[in-house]
């Protein structure tokens, strides 16, 4: 239905992807892989989410046999055996508390990360740095009391709070655990959004005279403990960078999704990353984390920022944690990079990859 609404003819095939928080990035990776395999030459990896319309609570069920093992004291060993399966059902905020507790991420560190996110996003929005990646959308606001409709145009991210301060955040109570540290202020927002990434072979882009924003170099998904799913980027980023034939020192820019400040702070510290390279235009705490959208949105933000920085910014990484215990990461090269990574890293990559020439909506 979305494809028809967007104007695509019935001859264009589509499919949906669900990898929770990395669905948008997974869609981009799937298109890149299919182009590389020769299945087609042009594809769109897109993501969308309306968290204000759809309930945040899962209302489904799981195989009753799983619960059977929890119901009898005589089957205690079975309970122990399926603990990780049970952990897959933990609320994400609880996993945030687990990360903070297990890896000693303080409330102060989390609140500071939130302040930084809003500060950077506010500066980026005010200076027009998001302008090239956001397509204005005409919509309407409906007054819930009167039903009156007011037309409006959405052209900026409206969750950014420029005046966010440590003092204000410090007043907020923990949401998921008594005496915990995860609050509404240092977590990603409930947001609506959509983003799309157009990929194609370099030859096709050149034939059509289209600008090339970047090159898709590598993609990796890893598994981690479901109870601390937020650590995913700390494992996925090194794996993706290695797959691209690079070292962490070769990466000039990172977009690491701020699902929760606890996991964001931990991943940055664990990888010993330069904070000046990470989420330079703010992250999900300020911009929002519409689950299906985030991966594609981060690609758009990364590629446009790399373009602004020019030759001094060659390689970038997008990464996020994934509910139920995973992490995803992808490596991009800015502009129309050569197929061989001849000036970076200790190893070489010699595969032709799809080119990206347009992004976020």
- Tell me the H-state helices in 171-309: 202-207, 232-243, 261-270, 284-287, 294-309
How many H helices and E strands in the chain? 13, 9
Point out which residues pair with 198 in neighbouring strands. 44, 358
Per-residue DSSP letter, 215: E
Distance in angstroms (rounded) separating the CA atoms of residues 290 and 273: 25
Catalytic residue list: 21, 289, 321
Name the E strands within 124-235.
137-142, 149-154, 192-200, 214-223
User: What is this structure's pTM?
Assistant: 0.89
User: What is the H or E stretch that residue 28 is in?
Assistant: helix 23-37
Those residues with Cβ within 8 angstroms of residue 294's Cβ, 6 or more apart along the chain or in another chain: 21, 22, 24, 25, 47, 257, 284, 320
Q: Are strands 326-334 and 137-142 parallel, antiparallel or unpaired?
A: unpaired
Write out the chain's pLDDT in tens, 361 residues. Answer: 989 998 999 999 999 999 999 999 999 999 999 999 999 999 999 999 999 887 666 666 666 555 555 555 444 455 456 788 888 889 999 999 999 999 999 999 999 999 999 999 999 999 999 999 999 999 999 998 999 999 999 999 999 999 999 999 999 999 999 999 999 999 998 899 999 999 999 999 999 999 999 999 999 999 999 999 999 999 999 999 999 999 999 999 999 999 999 999 999 999 999 999 999 999 999 999 999 999 999 999 999 999 999 989 999 999 999 999 999 999 999 987 655 554 454 433 333 445 555 444 4
Helix (H, G, I), strand (E, B) or coil at 255: strand
- 283: nearest Cα among 301, 307, 306: 301
Q: List the Cα angle 53/54/56 in 5-degree steps.
A: 125
Q: DSSP readout, 48-91?
A: EEETTTS-SS------HHHHHTTS-GGGHHHHHHTHHHHHTTS-
């Amino acid at each position: 239905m979305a494809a028809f609404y967007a104007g695509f003819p019935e001859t264009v095939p589509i499919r949906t992807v669900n990898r929770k928080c990395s669905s948008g990035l997974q869609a981009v990776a799937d298109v890149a892989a299919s182009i590389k395999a020769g299945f087609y030459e042009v594809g769109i990896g897109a993501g969308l989410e309306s968290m204000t319309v759809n309930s945040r609570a899962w209302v489904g069920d799981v195989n009753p046999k799983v619960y059977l093992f929890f119901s009898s004291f005589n089957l205690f060993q079975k309970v122990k055996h399926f603990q990780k399966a049970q952990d897959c059902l933990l609320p994400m905020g609880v996993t945030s508390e687990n990360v903070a507790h297990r890896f000693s991420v303080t409330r102060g560190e989390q609140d500071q990360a939130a302040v930084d996110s809003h500060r950077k996003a506010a500066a980026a929005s005010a200076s027009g740095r998001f302008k090239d990646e956001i397509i204005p959308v005409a919509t309407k606001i409906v007054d819930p009391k009167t039903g009156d409709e007011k037309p409006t145009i959405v052209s900026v991210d409206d969750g950014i709070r420029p005046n966010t301060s440590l003092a204000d955040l410090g007043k907020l109570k923990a949401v998921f655990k008594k005496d915990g540290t995860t609050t509404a202020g240092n977590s990603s927002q409930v947001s609506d959004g959509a983003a799309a990434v157009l990929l194609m072979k370099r030859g096709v882009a050149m034939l059509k005279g289209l600008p090339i924003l970047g090159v898709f170099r590598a993609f990796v998904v890893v598994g981690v403990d479901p109870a601390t799913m937020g650590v995913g980027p700390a494992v996925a980023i090194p794996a993706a960078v290695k797959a691209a034939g690079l070292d962490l020192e070769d990466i000039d820019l990172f977009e690491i999704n701020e699902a929760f400040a606890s996991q964001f702070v931990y991943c940055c510290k664990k990888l010993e990353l330069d904070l000046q390279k990470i989420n330079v235009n703010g992250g999900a705490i300020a911009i929002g984390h519409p689950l299906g959208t985030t991966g594609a949105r981060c690609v758009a933000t990364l590629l446009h920022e790399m373009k602004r920085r020019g030759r001094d910014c060659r390689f970038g990484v997008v990464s996020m944690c994934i509910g139920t215990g995973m992490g995803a990461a992808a490596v991009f090269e800015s502009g129309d990079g050569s197929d061989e990574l001849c000036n970076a890293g200790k190893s070489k990559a010699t595969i032709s990859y799809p080119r990206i020439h347009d992004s976020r909506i």
